[in-house]
Structure 1
Amino acid sequence: MSESQTPKGARFIKADLHLHTPESYDYQDDETEPDDLIERFVEENIELVAITDHNTDGYYEELAEAAENEPVTVLPGIEITTGQSGEHQIHMIAIFPPDNAAAISRVKHEIGLGLDPKIAIADPTIPSICDIVRDSGGLPILAHIDQNAGAHHELADRNNPTRELTFDIDKVAALEIVSLDTAEQFPEFAHIRSSDAHDLDSIGNRCTYLKMDAPTFEGLRMALSDPESRVSVQKQLNTHMSIDSLQVEHGFLEPRKLQFNKNLNSLIGGKGAGKSSVLEQIRYALDIKPRSEDIATECAALIDWNLDPDGIVRLRVTGSTGDQYEIVREYDSAPAIYRVQDDGSVAEEPLPIPIERFREEFFNAEIHSQRELINLARDETNLLELLDTYFDLTEPKGDRDEVKAKIEDQSRDVQTLQNDVDRLIDKKHHYETLREQIEVMKEKGVDSYIEGQEDWEEERANLASTIEGVEEVEEKVDKMDLTSTINGVSPTSGPNQELLEEANSIVEDLRTDIEGLQERLEETVDDAQSEIDEIREAWNQANEEREREHSRLADEIHEEIDVNIDQFFEIRSEMHELRGASEELETKRRELENAKKQKDELFDELAEARRVLTEARQDGISALTGELNNVKVSLEPQANRTEYINWINHVLEGSGVYTKHKKAIAKTFNPHTLAEIIRTDDTNRLNAEADCPPTSAENFVTHDDLNERLIELELFEIRDEPIIELNDGGWKSLDEMSDGQQCTALLSITMVERDVPLIIDQPEDMLDNKFIFSEVVQLVRSIKHDRQIITATHNANIPVLGDAEQIIVMDANGQSGFYNTCGSIDNECVKRKTQSILRVVNRPSAIGTISIVDQSDPLL
């Protein structure tokens, strides 16, 4: 397996863009060497510095040479003393690319800085200096604006025309601030903080964090042109869950490890390059099934094509606790989860938990394949399940499911008791039939031939009851093991060792005594059983003798009174076995009524649990709606009967009940009520309230499949129905929207800020470019700092205007897909590939780079 890997894309690097060297006239230590400065940069983890000595550029070459082979990039720059001032002259800095360091000398000459840096003052105004710096390829920045010689401090009068001209967003690349509070007064500008160090110890006291692919001047330029996404004056911590890398063996994708950024990742490339394959193999590793059956079929086919027969997917993720895991899934096998050690190696043994539990407890993701959003818009049940993942409904759903489990158990108890009652009713009726037969025989005079028979039957019943009791005692004694609950005291060398040893001795003595008592008890019961068996044998012999006498007289009895004496004895014997049926029936009937009452109480609990769940959903939906702009979500409690109607239709296939009558019944009765109607064969109610004809009603309540699934029916949940509306010249519900509008609404919902990564394939499908720019891009930019996004796209707006931290340029050669180039748009190679694939061109813009010109290429 190849160990090579792609870059991770843009990240926040630590930068100090205003510091001095011994070349400045006011530097505190003239003996400082270039190596000393580089060493301090490395100590402070500063990766990008700008050398900005007062009115001179003389130290850059020495420092750049010292920085070779070190993890720091040095940019040439200068701090300019301008002629505009309040009490002090206003300072500004200018930073240039390394290959254009010579421009500083030309700028110095053009703005009139003399040979003595200590007294040099630029002739032009600040706006003019900004123009000269920009024309020379540099970045003009107003220095320490809230301190002495700073523009904000020196031009405190906000009505001063010079102030307005100085703070020109089109000319000034950034404002350097000292106090964090100052930034609030200039929200439209990029802000940086720098040490303005004049000695080694001050380096890194203040710094800026810039997001870029690598510490370069182009990265700086891009960052300052898009400060919302790329500039921070405070350290940024990415602690949210993330997918860190994907590696595929023996599949369509190359085996190189694809690394993802913790923010926005965009996969781009021509048709067939493998963009969807990347996303679906993430889904496959996590074993997250699409909600739509059609989408699930397509995803399964794509996995078969990518991995069959022996492909392996390795997915490394950072979970909710900050720990890293690697999920390994071989083709046609279950995922295995391994903990990643601190050194980056993977544990030898997998965790003993299934992937479903892992997703619940440690890591999860929200994944949408192509066209999945439009499918969700057309299915209220799936839509509700999606919304549920946005809220913490663990407790109310757990409470509901717990009550449902109790009802299932109680329903089984009720059914058992009902079966017992039915059985005892049959026994009672049979007893009455037998008693009538005996009465007929008695009327014929059979009693005169069987004097004492009732006493014998009474003895038989009593003896049988006694034997049954002894056998039950014997069975319980045989199963008894009282010593299994006795635990000895574990050995210890602690301070109370002697006491614990004494306790252990007592426990062992108790165990021995109990074992002895148990043996004697078993012997006692065995002895009693043997004696009872002897008595039963003696009684049976006496009874057999009596019955032989009756049999000898059977012909005489039958001839004289026309009674079969053997039949008489059989009936009497059976009656004795049935004689307790009436009493037992009444007992079971009381138990049944109590069980039904308890079940009704549980259904009341279930109704309350469902109400609480709905209320929790409504609270979540209210909060969700507050995060949306032109979309609002509401909830209609227990209003979605579509799933219920479909279930009824499915179960009653071939029942002879018309679909319209099944639908009418499902709309009229809730599941619990309908189950009781079926149990009681209440066809009249179906006819009266649902307008169901008698024949259809009879077919409905007697349908075998339905009767076998009554517990399932009565627990069937009529779900809450989500109502989603889009403001497009007025509020429209989903069923009033076009496909594009439906996708618009759902995409807005999926892009709210959440902990779990969002993976979405071609979110721009069915949307027009206007909405992609005005809504999707803005949503992406607002959440990507705190939520990882991985998207495949053929629309330049998302990776470019969304400022993707990782653009993954994909290509294919017919046999495999591979990662051509990876990085941010400030990477020149990535920029060229993006322009080529997504058909974009340069133009002046807010981020100073590129814009869409054509999205119609059919190969995209």
Structure 2
Amino acid sequence: MPQICIGDSMAYQLGLHPGTVWHKSDFQCHTPRDLAWSGSPDLPGGGEAAETARMDWAKSFLKAAEDAGLLAVAISDHHDICLSKYVMAAAAETGSAVRAFPAVEITLADNAQCLAIFDPSLEADTQKLALAAAGNLLPAADADSKTCAIVPARETVMGFVRNIAAEQHLKDVCVILPHFSRQDAHKSLNEAGHHPRFANLTVDGVYIEQPYGDLDEVTIQKIHGKIDDWGRRRRAVVATGDNRSADWNRLGKHYCWIKLGEHSIEALRQALLADEARIVYETPESPAERLVELHVKSTLTGAVPVAVSFNDGFNAIIGGRGAGKSAFLEYLRFGLGRTDRDLGTRNEDANDREVKLIDETLAGDGYVEVVLEREGVRETWRRTVVNPEAIVVSSGGGSTTLTTKTARERFRSRAFRQKGLSSTMNDPSTASEQITSIAAAEEVDKQREIEQLIENARRDVTTALQNLASYWQSRLEHQQAKSKVDDLRQRLTALAQRLEAEGASAEHLKTLEDAPKYSRTADYINQVADQAISGLADLEGLEDSLLQVDLADYEGAAEFEDAVGLRDLTVQTKAAVSTAIAGAKRGLNTLIAGQAAAKEAFALKHTAFKATYDAALVEQGKHKNLIDDSARLTAELQTAEGVLSRARAAETSKSPYVKAYDDAVTNLDELVERRHQILKTAADKVAGKSSDLLKARVKKDRLPAAYVSTLAKLFEGTGTQQVDEGCSEWVGAILTEDQASGWQTLRKSLLEIYEAKINAGSPPEASEGLLSALQSVLFKGARTLTERQRKRIYINLSDASISAIVSAVPRDSIILSYMDDGRAIDFKMASPGQQASALLELLLKQSAGTLIIDQPEDDLDNRVIMRIVELLRKSKTTRQLIFSTHNSNIVVNGDADKVIALKSAEPSSNPNVNSARIQIDCDGAIETPSIRPAITSIMEGGREAFDLRGRKYGFETA
């Protein structure tokens, strides 16, 4: 049976409390009892029919609120509380999602109005104490159809607020909101002369009867404590509709969305105290991608898996030492494919501890399941240590298996282990990449796309180089075949001259000379058939692949006439091309038929000629040796001409490979430059998003590792000493001399040498010319290589080694400087605390997916915590945050939308090894009744310790 967590008004399974949720709100709604109400009959009470009428009105009000999209309302008649209980009863009866609060509007002696909003659990008789606190106010009888005549109360706003705070039955269950609209508004404190009273009011919010956007800047500054005469206390603004009509024309008219975690006055109070994050005046947006739930079964969770839900804002996991906060987040990182082992950043003992945690506690039937949403699509990711390389993703569309790399690309998030922010520079081999990934987090999609394009382009260059080499080989074979044919023809001509000189018959000699013509003709006829058949296959492939784009595959595109018109044109074009292809195919089939007829006819001629040729050979028997030589050379010529024909066709078909290689290399270079520009865009944003604590610039890779390693491969087996050092110096010298095109010049030189090798027939022994060319290029000629070394390098010149060189790319990166009192210092020279605070500030100002950090306060100086807290309140409105922490400022002043409190492990002399060591104690919003005691106990050492510190500091805590 699952444990149940009780909130003020709702029960949730332990771990699955949603935390704070946005409610479209209107906290000034009147009823027919209000003297200013219009549009519907009065509602006297007393009899059964009258009470039914009141309930019916309450239900109609709730229906109107629901139609207006409202989820939280306050019933606030002028000097009256009677009908609010009917609305709350109707909500309970109908199961309405609208959360109703009882309230009252009061006009005070200084001609200003206030709303007093009560906790929903507060009895009506206790609510009436607010009227007594205002002075001279007596409510009308409950059975009356209208309230009493409205006259100002005896107390001023300040006196009223003071009296409420002194009334023990109201002080914790009532929130006072004075009216503070524009200076020309009716009965508002925003009038000349009211500033001393307003400055000293101990209230945390005001209400307005107009859109927030219509407030002038001076009024906003007064409310937010920016003008000294009006006080330094920040107050929230609650926009209300002030509806007093049965047509509901002002119900929810002025947008005001409030984040509430419970149906309680404490929830409203907490929202007022964190209004930057919990009150907005236009429809709020939730992150498009967010984590929804985490389910873990491990040896630490016991027999029953632990399940916890996440709010789409700021989630704080708290607990004493050993409660399992770090393990909890490590399981989450594992489920998302973001452990240090997944990312290849293992380099410390802490990493080993985390690896051990995963391997040992999830062994057997252990698993981690993460439920997440991506643009409204809900998925469940499941990962185990049995198959750690795979994450099984299930959704409404079925299941699929992803690699951890693909999973990371599918769901954007960043996850840092404990002290992860302050250790980014610990490992020089990964520091640059980590800093670049943090600084470029908002450009991650563009960066990921360009990295994939670069990888594809490198493969294209490799393929293009291999094709280019095959073209060179075909060109060589064509040249060789042509030379052989020319040689055979010369030798046959010389034989014919000798036969003629020795008296051979002119007729028979003519027959012998004609033999190659017949072979060439037969080869030509066969080539026509081959190419016609190949052309038919190409046309069929073209027809199958041409314009295979269907408008129906692009949801919503058919709604645009431009797209529909283009679709029609595409259909027409495809039909026209298909007609042309059909005509071409008919032409080729006609050609094939004609070739068959020609082949058949020529075969008869060729057969007849062979008989004549054989007779000529017999008749010239006395010239047998010369005739045999002629026959042999004729046969060789026939073969050689066939080879030449095929070599010529191969060279012609491969000639586009020259341009294809140039295009592939140009594309690769352009993509590398585009990546540089993406990094530059990211670097330009860093200063503004770190409050100028950081400055960033893109660092050109002055010594690309790929350049050095691919060049070093050429020296394998040569016995050359200090190859890596030499290649590093070589690359450094090239790029120092010409950063823009030095590498392009080198790869071109090596490509030309490789072409020369192929043109020479790739002999096992290189010519002196080739060896000299190698010597001049390698190390720019600065190091003299032995003949043996050069010969070995010549052997190493291959498609694989040259393609690796021409496809090698640099790795530009972002480097950071820390601004220390206006002085820029290398980021790695900043203290761990400075590094962590600057990076965290940068991360919190970015909008780059869910951010997960284990105990960030371990990396931060206490003096910067409050600045980070301010950023937390702003950041959580645009991205999901999941932190574990010991610091109460982060949780409370950061206004965590959901707090998950873990039970602290209790020492035992007889521990049960099978008992759960990670257990949820309670969860919910800060206003959830069980959460504040948990925070106080875990993070403050209990109320007594908190009060004692307050007295020691001289602060009032009671």
Question: Is TM > 0.5 for Structure 1 vs Structure 2?
Answer: yes
User: Corresponding residue for 2:107?
Assistant: 81
Distance 1:541 1:748, change over 3 A: farther
Residue correspondence of structure 1 range 605-684 to structure 2 within 5 A = 606-629=668-691, 630-639=693-702, 641-642=704-705, 644-645=707-708, 656-658=720-722, 659-669=724-734, 670-679=742-751, 680=753, 682-684=773-775
1:13 partnered with 2:23: yes
Residue correspondence of structure 1 range 447-458 to structure 2 within 5 A = none
Tell me the secondary structure at the aligned position of residue 215 of structure 2.
Answer: helix
Tell me the secondary structure at the aligned position of residue 16 of structure 1.
Answer: strand
Tell me the secondary structure at the aligned position of residue 133 of structure 1.
Answer: helix
2:453, 2:649 → 1: CA distance?
Answer: 33
Q: What do residues 586-633 of structure 1 show as CA deviations (whole Å, max 9, x unaligned)?
A: 999999999667745764565445434433442343245433312222
Out of 97, 100, 117, the position equivalent to 2:119 is: 97
1:412 partnered with 2:466: yes
User: Corresponding residue for 1:822?
Assistant: 923
1:694 partnered with 2:800: no
User: Which amino acid is 1:141 matched to?
Assistant: L
CA drift at 1:401: 6.7
User: Corresponding residue for 2:49?
Assistant: none
CA drift at 1:219: 0.5
Tell me the secondary structure at the aligned position of residue 129 of structure 1.
Answer: helix
2:943, 2:791 → 1: CA distance?
Answer: 73
Tell me the secondary structure at the aligned position of residue 108 of structure 2.
Answer: strand
User: Corresponding residue for 2:62?
Assistant: 41
2:532, 2:701 → 1: CA distance?
Answer: 54
User: Corresponding residue for 1:244?
Assistant: 292
CA contact (8 A) 1:434 1:571 kept: yes
The RMSD of aligned alpha carbons is 5.5
1:112 partnered with 2:141: no
Residue correspondence of structure 1 range 241-280 to structure 2 within 5 A = 241-247=289-295, 255=305, 258-269=308-319, 270-272=322-324, 274-280=327-333
CA contact (8 A) 1:438 1:571 kept: yes
User: Corresponding residue for 1:856?
Assistant: none
CA drift at 1:165: 2.2
User: Which amino acid is 1:83 matched to?
Assistant: A
User: Corresponding residue for 1:492?
Assistant: none
1:752 partnered with 2:869: no
CA contact (8 A) 2:330 2:339 kept: no
CA drift at 1:210: 1.8
1:534, 1:840 → 2: CA distance?
Answer: 110
1:405, 1:371 → 2: CA distance?
Answer: 39
1:549, 1:376 → 2: CA distance?
Answer: 94
1:223 partnered with 2:271: yes
CA contact (8 A) 2:316 2:891 kept: yes
CA drift at 1:222: 0.7
How many equivalent residue pairs?
Answer: 801
Distance 1:622 1:118, change over 3 A: same
CA contact (8 A) 1:82 1:126 kept: yes
Mean Cα displacement is larger for which, 179-188 or 394-403? 394-403
CA contact (8 A) 1:279 1:761 kept: no
User: Corresponding residue for 1:127?
Assistant: 158
1:800 partnered with 2:897: no
Distance 1:580 1:466, change over 3 A: closer
Tell me the secondary structure at the aligned position of residue 709 of structure 1.
Answer: helix
CA drift at 1:825: 1.4
Residue correspondence of structure 1 range 515-530 to structure 2 within 5 A = 524=597, 527-528=600-601
User: Which amino acid is 1:209 matched to?
Assistant: W
User: Corresponding residue for 2:758?
Assistant: none
User: Corresponding residue for 1:470?
Assistant: 525
Tell me the secondary structure at the aligned position of residue 813 of structure 2.
Answer: strand
2:512, 2:836 → 1: CA distance?
Answer: 82
User: Corresponding residue for 1:176?
Assistant: 208
1:186 partnered with 2:199: no
1:780 partnered with 2:840: no
Q: Show structure 1 runs of 5+ residues with no match.
A: 340-345, 488-502, 555-564, 854-860
Q: What do residues 825-850 of structure 1 show as CA deviations (whole Å, max 9, x unaligned)?
A: 111223333344445666999xx9x9
1:142 partnered with 2:158: no
Mean Cα displacement is larger for which, 419-428 or 9-18? 419-428
Distance 1:105 1:600, change over 3 A: closer
1:243, 1:699 → 2: CA distance?
Answer: 60
1:443, 1:236 → 2: CA distance?
Answer: 99
Mean Cα displacement is larger for which, 519-528 or 788-797? 519-528
Distance 1:240 1:534, change over 3 A: same
CA contact (8 A) 2:423 2:832 kept: no
Q: What do residues 559-581 of structure 1 show as CA deviations (whole Å, max 9, x unaligned)?
A: xxxxxx98998789668866899
Mean Cα displacement is larger for which, 93-102 or 514-523? 514-523
Out of 812, 827, 833, the position equivalent to 1:720 is: 812
1:20, 1:825 → 2: CA distance?
Answer: 30
CA drift at 1:168: 3.8
User: Corresponding residue for 2:567?
Assistant: none
Distance 1:440 1:68, change over 3 A: closer
1:831 partnered with 2:899: no
CA drift at 1:354: 9.3
User: Which amino acid is 1:734 matched to?
Assistant: F
Out of 166, 178, 184, the position equivalent to 2:198 is: 166
2:177, 2:166 → 1: CA distance?
Answer: 14
Distance 1:311 1:672, change over 3 A: farther
CA contact (8 A) 2:180 2:208 kept: yes
User: Corresponding residue for 2:566?
Assistant: none
User: Which amino acid is 1:163 matched to?
Assistant: H
Residue correspondence of structure 1 range 724-735 to structure 2 within 5 A = 724-729=816-821, 730-735=823-828
Output the TM-score relative to the length of structure 1: 0.75
CA drift at 1:427: 7.0
Tell me the secondary structure at the aligned position of residue 930 of structure 2.
Answer: helix
Distance 1:436 1:271, change over 3 A: farther
1:566, 1:815 → 2: CA distance?
Answer: 98
Tell me the secondary structure at the aligned position of residue 825 of structure 1.
Answer: coil
Distance 1:802 1:289, change over 3 A: same
CA contact (8 A) 2:103 2:117 kept: yes
CA contact (8 A) 1:277 1:306 kept: no
Distance 1:358 1:461, change over 3 A: farther
Tell me the secondary structure at the aligned position of residue 821 of structure 1.
Answer: strand
CA contact (8 A) 2:371 2:380 kept: yes
1:417, 1:661 → 2: CA distance?
Answer: 33
CA contact (8 A) 1:247 1:257 kept: yes
CA drift at 1:223: 0.8
CA drift at 1:686: 5.2
CA drift at 1:142: 0.4
Distance 1:150 1:532, change over 3 A: farther
Distance 1:470 1:646, change over 3 A: closer
CA contact (8 A) 1:192 1:207 kept: no
Distance 1:444 1:145, change over 3 A: closer
Mean Cα displacement is larger for which, 198-207 or 663-672? 198-207
Q: Show structure 2 runs of 5+ residues with no match.
A: 3-11, 45-52, 140-147, 225-234, 545-575, 735-741, 754-770, 906-913, 953-958
Distance 1:736 1:454, change over 3 A: farther
CA contact (8 A) 1:174 1:190 kept: yes
